[in-house]
Amino acid sequence: MKDEILRHLRYGLGKDAAHSSVYDWRMALSRALRDRMVDHWIPSTQEAYASGSKRVYYLSMEFLIGRLVEDMASNLGLVDEAKAALKELGQDYETIVKDEPDAALGNGGLGRLAACFMDSLATLGIPAMGYGIRYEHGLFEQDFVEGQQVERPETWLQQDHIWEFERPEVQYPITFGGHVEHHDGKAHWHPSETVIATAFDTPVIGWEGRWGNTLRLWAAMPTKVFDLASFNRGDYLAAGRSEALARTICRVLYPDDTTETGKELRLKQEYFFTSASIQDLLRRFLSTHADIRTLPDAAAIQLNDTHPAIAGPELVRVLVDKHELGMDEAIALARRCLGYTNHTLLPEALERWPEWLFGRVLPRHLEIIREIDADHLRRHEGAPKILDHGNVNMGELAFIMAHKVNGVSALHTDLVKKTVFNDLHKIHPQRIVNQTNGITQRRWLKTCNPALSGLITRELGNGWVTDLDLLSQLKSRTGDVAFKEEFVAAKRANKVRLANWVTETMGISIDPDAMFDVQIKRIHEYKRQLMNILETVALWNEMRAHPDAGWTPRVKIFGGKAAPGYHVAKEIIHLINDVAAVINSDEITKDLLKVVYPPNYNVTMAEVLIPAADLSEQISTAGKEASGTGNMKFALNGALTIGTLDGANVEIREHVGPENFFLFGLTAEEVMERRTQPGFARAAIEASPRLQRVLGQIVEGRFCPQDQGRYHGLVGMLYDSDYFLVTCDFDSYYDTQRRADEAYKNARNWAAMALVNTASMGFFSSDRTIKGYAHDIWHVGSRLGAGEEAAE
Ligand code: OX2
């Protein structure tokens, strides 16, 4: 390893050791690791090709990857070797790992899920390809200026991204606009614009290098890079115009995960990567198969939300216009290939395009969608339509074109059947299935929490790394005092690590013995960070009034970004920061309560916060969070959950047992019922003197004396509408927090509860989730060991 690092430093970077920066060392280490990855990757790719086995194509607008050095080193079993080699070279492994920017090609849960799935697919040896967009700028960087969010462009590609291989030979034309002519019984699309999609491949190597898959991200290029004639005329801007236009398509990630933008550029992005992926998988298929009708035996195409839903009409278009299949046959064939995952019930997040806009960008696809609607209506009278009220409904399109539709937790799937797709569900009662989300324990325990994972491996061996159910053996240890002490020591070490980081980066000192209470996720009204900060103020009031009442000291930690156009979410951020400033400088409560909100929450920050958490905040309005995946990461790392019966919380609670979970709040059914009662919010506020007081303080400008009216709108909204029922759940939330305070005082018992949480998380491995998709939706198997079998 040492020689390899030095060789890459010299011949890959043209540097000598004496004059190398941290960046240079990181590049050299990464290249050395990449070489090893390639040695696992190429044989897997060859095997998948030679065996002709069915492949999974996972189409996703987002892959929220984070850093890769440590992930790759860990999956290859090279962490110790890399550390030792660097040490001999006078370099520090940790420093080098920390130099890597996050690959932030996603907004949150949906993108991170795709990244966990890629890890599990490779570890399970399932031939698969992830398809997405190689955004030049990932999710924006967040800064706070006087407590308010400011966005700055993210620039991960300004440094060399050495994990990827550019594939200039893999190019496809992607066309937009123009018009369609029909003659000789055929459709002829004459587009007005063409860009080229070109591939960049990142190897994804599973645990111990047993199998390797590919993440293929598409970048856009102009058909003609440079117009020399314009340049020679002196029109320099015109000379580069086509390049600029093409590049725009993959320039930035839309920073919004749950509201629809309806922008033409977004539609182009969606079609761009979907069409490139469909062309690519068809080329691969046709290079080894003669009959296009056997495509469903070779390709399972999974749509991660509706963003790639255009895959249905695109596949039909190619089958009909290029391969001359009949429309009905093409639709049926495409459906056998496609699966669709729904991730949200929020009406504002369901994609709809105005028909006029859609038809302008994709005129041939609009015709095909009409045919799909007609075909479906012929078979199912009165069925919901894709084209309705001048809109193209992407949810209906994805549903009708998929042979399976899945929700991401038991509760969510149930609600999908009862609400958004109720009519379609009645027509196709077998189509909707559940696949409860999961997380990869390789990143979310093994690598991010070496203190705890080291302890577990010492006790159980390392089988849990690929079989998380083995953790259940730890349940018998809740009475083992010595083991529990070690378990607690691991948590404490992680808390000290976090406390030091908070002091260094924010200048706030926090006590590692206080309860670390963490809410990290996108800022959204339904996730109710607002309720959390209101409860913080209520607690602070009580602490000030009775400072000697034996309080459990707390550190309230927040992390998360707001979509740049989401005004209310930004107000909530401002309020949290205003409250933090006041509380953190209060002499009376200085040893009892702190509020910490580090800016720019991302995957890397999660990897530090989650192992250090005691209490995990999963407090969304019931029925709104489809699943959540942070909830799983916390419990796996030994945090207790305070939460509502929402998303995967329900299943987490079932697995850890109700006595090891702090439940509060209205159920999804009660939420729906409560909303029908006129004036429910005002009634709830009037019934809660505690909440009244908090709201009064905020309105009077207690946390913003220089600008007293700052939160009048926000508080007014709670009184008048409160769609997310912050007011109704507030008292139950406050009381449950006090139960958590009491429980925390009994350190032994808390440790036992935390241990049961860790030990009960086997079900929430993304390995289990992927096995479910493979069995119920994709009908694919593992290739692990298959190569040897064939050779024998
Ligand atoms: C998220 C959901 O909000 C979250 O509940 C879920 O855990 C995650 O997807 C992965 O399934 N954009 N992000 C999501 O949905 C959408 C749309």
- DSSP string for 679-726: THHHHHHHT-HHHHHHHHHHHTTTT-TTSTTTTHHHHHHHHHT-TT-H
Ligand 1 contact, 408 CB (< 6 A): yes
Express as a percent the part of the chain with pLDDT over 70: 98
- Closest-lying ligand 1 atom to the alpha carbon of residue 626: 5
Q: 217 forms bridges with which residues in the sheet?
A: 132, 200
In the reported structure, the alpha carbon of residue 430 is separated from the centroid of ligand 1 by a whole-number distance in angstroms of 23
- Closest-lying ligand 1 atom to the alpha carbon of residue 628: 7
- pLDDT of 323 strictly over 90: yes
Of 110, 352, 631, the residue with max ligand 1 atoms within 8 A of its CB, to mutate for a pocket test, comes to 110
pLDDT digits (tens, 9 = 90+) for 747-782: 999 999 999 999 999 999 999 999 999 999 999 999
Ligand 1 contact, 278 CB (< 6 A): no
Residue 791: predicted pLDDT: 41
Residue 259: predicted pLDDT: 64
pLDDT digits (tens, 9 = 90+) for 710-739: 999 999 999 999 999 999 999 999 999 999
Of 61, 117, 256, 344, the residue with max ligand 1 atoms within 8 A of its CB, to mutate for a pocket test, comes to 344
In the reported structure, the alpha carbon of residue 438 is separated from the centroid of ligand 1 by a whole-number distance in angstroms of 12
> Residue 257: which pLDDT band, with cuts at 50, 70 and 90?
low
pLDDT digits (tens, 9 = 90+) for 339-377: 999 999 998 888 999 999 999 999 999 999 999 999 999
- Closest-lying ligand 1 atom to the alpha carbon of residue 346: 17
Ligand 1 contact, 691 CB (< 6 A): no
Residue 613: predicted pLDDT: 99
Q: Which of 98-112, 242-256, 497-511, 709-723 has the lowest mean pLDDT?
A: 242-256
Cβ atoms of residues 108 and 58 within 8 Å: no
In the reported structure, the alpha carbon of residue 767 is separated from the centroid of ligand 1 by a whole-number distance in angstroms of 18
- What is the C-alpha to C-alpha distance for residues 254 and 62, in angstroms, rounded to an integer? 10
> Residue 242: which pLDDT band, with cuts at 50, 70 and 90?
confident
Q: Does domain 441-668+733-763 have CATH number 3.40.50.2000?
A: yes
Question: For tokens 């009775």, what's the residue?
Answer: 546
Residue 348: predicted pLDDT: 83
- pLDDT of 787 strictly over 70: no
- pLDDT of 672 strictly over 70: yes
Average pLDDT of the residues of the chain: 96
Residue nearest to atom 7 of ligand 1 (CA): 628
Determine how many CB atoms are found less than 10 A away from the CB of residue 261: 14
> Residue 792: which pLDDT band, with cuts at 50, 70 and 90?
very low
Ligand 1 contact, 578 CB (< 6 A): no
In the reported structure, the alpha carbon of residue 425 is separated from the centroid of ligand 1 by a whole-number distance in angstroms of 21
CA torsion sign for 139, 144, 147, 151 is negative
CA torsion sign for 483, 487, 488, 494 is positive
3-state class of 409 per DSSP? coil
Q: Which of 249-263, 401-415, 695-709 has the lowest mean pLDDT?
A: 249-263
**CA angle (642, 644, 647) in 5-degree steps:** 115
Tell how far CA 376 is from the center of its chain.
Answer: 33
Ligand 1 contact, 626 CB (< 6 A): yes
Task: With both helix axes pointing from N to C terminus, report the angle between 264-286 and 241-249 in degrees, rounded to the nearest 10.
Answer: 80
Least Cα distance to 671 among 641, 707, 644, 704 occurs for 644
pLDDT digits (tens, 9 = 90+) for 576-613: 999 999 999 999 999 999 999 999 999 999 999 999 99
Express as a percent the part of the chain with pLDDT over 90: 94
In the reported structure, the alpha carbon of residue 110 is separated from the centroid of ligand 1 by a whole-number distance in angstroms of 5
Task: Name the region of 560 (left: φ>0; alpha: ψ -120 to 50; beta: rest).
Answer: left
In the reported structure, the alpha carbon of residue 154 is separated from the centroid of ligand 1 by a whole-number distance in angstroms of 22
In the reported structure, the alpha carbon of residue 344 is separated from the centroid of ligand 1 by a whole-number distance in angstroms of 6
- Closest-lying ligand 1 atom to the alpha carbon of residue 112: 10
pLDDT digits (tens, 9 = 90+) for 102-147: 999 999 999 999 999 999 999 999 999 999 999 999 999 999 999 9
Residue 605: predicted pLDDT: 98
- pLDDT of 789 strictly over 60: no
- What is the C-alpha to C-alpha distance for residues 578 and 572, in angstroms, rounded to an integer? 10
- pLDDT of 677 strictly over 80: yes
In the reported structure, the alpha carbon of residue 84 is separated from the centroid of ligand 1 by a whole-number distance in angstroms of 40
Cβ atoms of residues 388 and 423 within 8 Å: no
Residue nearest to atom 14 of ligand 1 (CA): 110
pLDDT digits (tens, 9 = 90+) for 374-412: 999 999 999 999 999 999 999 999 999 999 999 999 999
Ligand 1 contact, 110 CB (< 6 A): yes
Domain 52-67+102-435 sits in CATH at 3.40.50.2000
Write down the domain spans for the chain. Answer: 52-67+102-435, 441-668+733-763
Catalytic residues: 343, 521-522, 527, 629, 633
Backbone angles phi, psi at 650, to 5 degrees: -60, -45
pLDDT (average), residues 544-548: 98
- What is the C-alpha to C-alpha distance for residues 100 and 23, in angstroms, rounded to an integer? 8
- Closest-lying ligand 1 atom to the alpha carbon of residue 108: 13
Q: Do domains 52-67+102-435 and 441-668+733-763 have the same CATH topology?
A: yes
- Closest-lying ligand 1 atom to the alpha carbon of residue 412: 5
Ligand 1 contact, 645 CB (< 6 A): no
3-class secondary structure per residue, 158-169: HCCCCCCEEEEE
Residue 505: predicted pLDDT: 96
Residues, the chain = 792
> Residue 263: which pLDDT band, with cuts at 50, 70 and 90?
confident
Cβ atoms of residues 741 and 621 within 8 Å: no
As given in the structure block, the two tokens for residue 402 are: 């998929």
pLDDT (average), residues 60-75: 96
Residue 347: predicted pLDDT: 84
Ligand 1 contact, 257 CB (< 6 A): yes
pLDDT (average), residues 282-310: 97
Question: For tokens 């070490």, what's the residue?
Answer: 493
Ligand 1 contact, 109 CB (< 6 A): yes
Of 627, 644, 770, the residue with max ligand 1 atoms within 8 A of its CB, to mutate for a pocket test, comes to 627
User: Which of residues 241 and 381 earns the better pLDDT score?
Assistant: 381
